A and B are shown apart, each in its own frame.
Chain A
Amino acid sequence: EAQVTQNPRYLITVTGKKLTVTCSQNMNHEYMSWYRQDPGLGLRQIYYSMNVEVTDKGDVPEGYKVSRKEKRNFPLILESPSPNQTSLYFCASSLRTGTPLEQYFGPGTRLTVT
């Protein structure tokens, strides 16, 4: 089944404890992206990747890191999480870069930082 998977789905952590949210797609998509969703703000892009080893900042990149060493994986890293990073996170992928085809979203990761 074609899908985008994220792990974990739920995470509660403390301020400053490094964490990684994994994202994997099995559709051989070139483009991958991370978004965060906050009430009243919609979804905002954190980082995106147009292909392996090609990443760039979105609208709200502060406090986050990403890497794209393999085409299928695009992990989101929070080196030192803070409470303002409490949010719902979505990973998404799209077949090709440069043509705004449908983006397929993962199921979301609910992160709480205390």
Chain B
Amino acid sequence: AQTVTQSQPEMSVQEAETVTLSCTYDTSESDYYLFWYKQPPSRQMILVIRQEAYKQQNATENRFSVNFQKAAKSFSLKISDSQLGDAAMYFCAQSTGANNLFFGTGTRLTVIP
């Protein structure tokens, strides 16, 4: 069974600073994908970034990047130059070939002006 762990229920960051959200996972699958989703107060689930497990290169999307450590089963999200609009709940998730997503419990990020 897949499990995803986010050990930081809450985090805060000063505007324009950098913050890293942690995620670890456990799977017996060799082929899988990892995701970070953002959920703002509107409750909409928004895909932030995706990483294929077979790719060694860390994914990057503008100010968002990941540190993917496959051997350690770690998948952290780094947000650079934090903005007020980044304030949200962030969920780490893992998916196998069946498309089923397994989510962590989330990290609530507060951005301090």
Contact = CB atoms under 8 A, between A and B. Distances in A.
Nearest to A44: B103
Nearest to B47: A102
B99 interface: yes
Interface string B74-113: 0000000000000000010101111111111110000000
B103 A97 contact: no
A42 B91 contact: yes
A92 B47 CA distance: 12
Contacts of B103: 35, 42-44
B30 to A, nearest CB: 13
B24 to A, nearest CB: 14
Interface string A39-75: 0111111001010000000100000000000000000
Contacts of A100: 32-33, 95-97, 99
Chain B contact residues: over half helix, strand or loop, or mixed? loop
Interface in B1-50: 4, 6, 32-33, 35, 43-45, 47, 50
A91 B4 CA distance: 20
30 contacts: A31-B99, A33-B99, A33-B101, A35-B101, A41-B105, A42-B103, A42-B106, A43-B93, A43-B103, A45-B101, A48-B98, A48-B99, A50-B98, A94-B99, A97-B99, A98-B97, A99-B99, A100-B32, A100-B96, A100-B97, A100-B99, A101-B99, A102-B47, A103-B47, A103-B95, A103-B99, A105-B44, A105-B45, A107-B44, A108-B45
Pairs of residues from A and B, 6 with the lowest C-beta to C-beta distance, nearest first = A100-B95, A105-B45, A42-B103, A100-B33, A43-B103, A42-B105
Interface of A: 31, 33, 35, 40-45, 48, 50, 58, 88, 90, 92, 94, 97-103, 105, 107-108
Given A45-B101, A92-B101, 9 more contacts: A33-B100, A97-B99, A99-B99, A100-B95, A103-B99, A103-B101, A107-B44, A108-B43, A108-B44
